[in-house]
Structure 1
């Protein structure tokens, strides 16, 4: 009997040979002859044991589409480099001290090192993606990199603005998370030369999976931090306006709105405020509503994947969408 039960673990098992090639390529390309700090900082994050979900999505999509290589490995490494670069930059912007349960690079080294090594990884990702020689793949991944940066800047302006709507929140999520998921799956179909309807289905799957994944992360911040490596209420303390809070504010009384304005807009947080925030989120059903939205996006991902030809890999990717939301069941 298979002891590996989680879909992402079974996916890793199925793709282990190709993931070994991706990891070898990452180690090779994060080297620097002139600046030893680059591999030091990169290794701290790359080898911290993340799930490698995004590169696996590229490998899985390419294999699902019958692609036999070799450039899916380069594209998977590209996706991981882009992701790692954004994490390094995020931790500086958020002034984070913990990532994947370990001290962040900016805490161990400094902000300058994190920003500059992140820049180096972005540059490396562009070098890698050109090696496929496929201009459409280049466009998809470079567009994703621009969308991610745009999403981060939008979040900066929207995060503490209580006028932020669910529509703007979705735009932020599409930028900072879903853009890389959808690019990761879409390039698998493109590199394999599949028909447009299949490429679109892969894009739709990645987009919906990424949105569901981020909504769940934002929900876990109030429901339990173990799965994210964060503490409960980190987003509240950092005054991030995520979906649960947007929903609660929309239904708030004048007195409750004054509380949100003080704690989120003005940043005047006191003892007991987090507990009160949690009570308000529950009072207005904001957490349950957010969970329903995560489930709806997971259903969209499954529906998109169901339109592709039946295979073990396809079924595993459908299961993956269920697993992403199972974290909040």
Structure 2
């Protein structure tokens, strides 16, 4: 395994029993007498996924002293995974994605209507789990994150195909659509352990900065990775006209012929077969991938700094190692 994958494996091993309980809760809560719901949900479970967000909830709670086997962090880890999976289902419909985690996406197999409606079901299940936890603070954190995710996705839709999008707007998109759930997933760990606000804020900062770093790397990989490594069709962002940092860097540093290419392909959506390769070449020429990874490393460093609030422990080290996992995917 690569060093980053080793880090994720160590975190998984550290909370293995709780993760297994979380997986059981996920399967149990996916049950429905409406056969299509568990059928489509089973497709998602079979597609794999690293369960990164629920892992963060479990590890953050243990970092704060919540006992292994305690029911609250397990249920909330399942809740976090339901929110994440629901957004994936909806995103794949919006983006018309054919692949998810290297396999046919749910919308490609079951259709858009089923994907949207099962996504709604998973959101509803997530809110049931929040209510069952009984903490208004948990409900506030996770419901606010759910709203912020939707806002981030809508903002991405608004900025799509618009090369006047600023880097600040781009960061606002990824803070909403990705980092908000990372922050909520870690923050609730402090809440269930009844820790002071200072620790909840530190875990929020850790998760938020980690989430931004994670998405920056994802956006870089869309122009740099092989399809097998990425788990989705390479160049999806380009074909959909998504304005991400590699493009913003290449557009800003390029001359007028380069900018004319970007306007044609991203704003006018007049794309030809060779355009993706040319886009990758322009991004490479202007170090768009390198610049994006360097930004990700800075956010990763901020995530590590937030962990300094906590005493050294195997859980703090495991959460620190996850930063390496997120950033190393593009190396």
Q: Is the 8 A contact 1:79 1:125 kept in 2?
A: yes
Correspondence 1:158-237 to 2 at 5 A: 158-225=159-226, 226-237=228-239
Alignment partners' CA distance in 1, 2:87 and 2:276: 28
Report how far residue 158 of structure 1 moved: 0.6
Match of 2:322 in 1: 320
Q: Is the 8 A contact 2:43 2:106 kept in 1?
A: yes
Out of 260, 274, 278, the position equivalent to 2:280 is: 278
Out of 298, 303, 306, the position equivalent to 2:305 is: 303
Residue-by-residue CA offset, 1:261-314 (whole Å, 9 max, x unaligned):
100001101132112212211222222111100111111111111221110010
Q: What is the RMSD of the two structures over their aligned residues, measured on CA atoms? A: 1.4
Alignment partners' CA distance in 2, 1:182 and 1:32: 30
Q: Is the 8 A contact 1:224 1:231 kept in 2?
A: no
Question: Are 2:22 and 1:16 aligned?
Answer: no
- When structure 1 is superposed on structure 2, of 256-265 and 41-50 the one drifting more is 41-50
Alignment partners' CA distance in 2, 1:5 and 1:184: 20
Report how far residue 228 of structure 1 moved: 2.2
Alignment partners' CA distance in 2, 1:326 and 1:4: 6
Match of 2:44 in 1: 45
In structure 1, the gaps of 5 or more residues are none
Match of 2:259 in 1: 257
- When structure 1 is superposed on structure 2, of 223-232 and 97-106 the one drifting more is 223-232
Q: Is the 8 A contact 2:131 2:139 kept in 1?
A: yes
Match of 1:78 in 2: 79
Alignment partners' CA distance in 2, 1:31 and 1:278: 44
Q: Is the 8 A contact 1:182 1:202 kept in 2?
A: yes
Question: Are 2:92 and 1:99 aligned?
Answer: no
- When structure 1 is superposed on structure 2, of 199-208 and 38-47 the one drifting more is 38-47
Report how far residue 159 of structure 1 moved: 1.8
Alignment partners' CA distance in 2, 1:320 and 1:17: 19
- When structure 1 is superposed on structure 2, of 232-241 and 155-164 the one drifting more is 232-241
Structure 2 vs 1, CA of residues 5 and 294 (structure 1 numbering), >3 Å: closer, same or farther? Answer: closer
Q: Which has the higher contact order (CA 8 A, sep 6+)?
A: 2
Residue-by-residue CA offset, 1:134-153 (whole Å, 9 max, x unaligned):
10010000000000000000
Question: Are 2:168 and 1:151 aligned?
Answer: no
Report how far residue 204 of structure 1 moved: 0.4
Alignment partners' CA distance in 2, 1:150 and 1:282: 31
- When structure 1 is superposed on structure 2, of 24-33 and 276-285 the one drifting more is 276-285
TM-score relative to the length of structure 1: 0.96
TM-score relative to the length of structure 2: 0.96
Alignment partners' CA distance in 2, 1:237 and 1:291: 22
Equivalenced residues, count? 326
Structure 2 vs 1, CA of residues 80 and 283 (structure 1 numbering), >3 Å: closer, same or farther? Answer: same
Report how far residue 209 of structure 1 moved: 0.5
Alignment partners' CA distance in 1, 2:189 and 2:169: 29
Moved over 2 A (4+): 225-228
Alignment partners' CA distance in 1, 2:8 and 2:113: 34
Structure 2 vs 1, CA of residues 210 and 149 (structure 1 numbering), >3 Å: closer, same or farther? Answer: same
Alignment partners' CA distance in 1, 2:249 and 2:78: 37
In structure 2, the gaps of 5 or more residues are none
Report how far residue 4 of structure 1 moved: 11
Q: Is the 8 A contact 1:211 1:294 kept in 2?
A: yes
